[in-house]
Amino acid sequence: MRFEILPGLPPYGPRAVSFTGRGEHEFREGLVIRFYPEKSDPWVGNFLGGMTNCTAVLDHPNGADVIVVADGHTCVIDPESRAMRDCAAWDDIAAVFPLHQLGLVVFQGLVDFAAVRSDNSGWISPRISWDSFRNVKVHETELTGEAWTPVGDIWAPFTLDLLTGHCADGIYEKDMARAVRVGS
């Protein structure tokens, strides 16, 4: 075991390391995780979350780091150095798809998707939806689902290439291509 989610901050022992996008001086409880590094003593991290209900802790495809999603706020942690290697630019992760067979992890945002590979490269899709997705499924190297559009208040199907992040049928881009500029 490389990590475990704790029910709360431990009442004893060393103070938890706080990870937040709002500064290190926040003293409230978030997602509490105990890490078990191979070369150093176990330690506790306290992750203050974002704006969604998505919480997950999983191994990074590189095999060394750990990906933490706390209420949608995502960061990559190096358990050995007790440091944050990377922090996603958005706090709106709604779902996480670890795709071991492809060597990547896919993150569903509110209007787009992003992925990270074992070499820390990745992709961010174009904006696909106006606001949210439903019926999202993974089929080999494709992700399919439905994206919402206010034009007719409908759910439109889309397909995303998991290897590149390319989406040719996103409803947002289709709607914007049909838009007509009003005014001067």
Say what the pTM is. Answer: 0.91
Tens of pLDDT along the chain (184 residues) come to: 699 999 999 999 998 998 876 655 566 889 999 999 999 999 999 998 888 999 999 999 999 999 999 999 999 999 999 999 887 656 789 999 999 999 999 999 999 999 999 998 999 999 999 999 999 999 999 999 999 999 999 999 999 999 999 998 999 999 999 888 887 6
Instruction: Tell me the C-alpha to C-alpha distance, in Å, between residue 33 and each of 21, 77, 79, 175.
Output: 17, 11, 11, 43
Question: CB burial class (10 A; 0-12, 13-18, 19+) of residue 132?
Answer: middle
Strand partners, 87: 75
87 vs 21: CA distance, rounded Å: 8
pLDDT digits (tens, 9 = 90+) for 68-121: 999 999 999 999 999 998 876 567 899 999 999 999 999 999 999 999 999 989
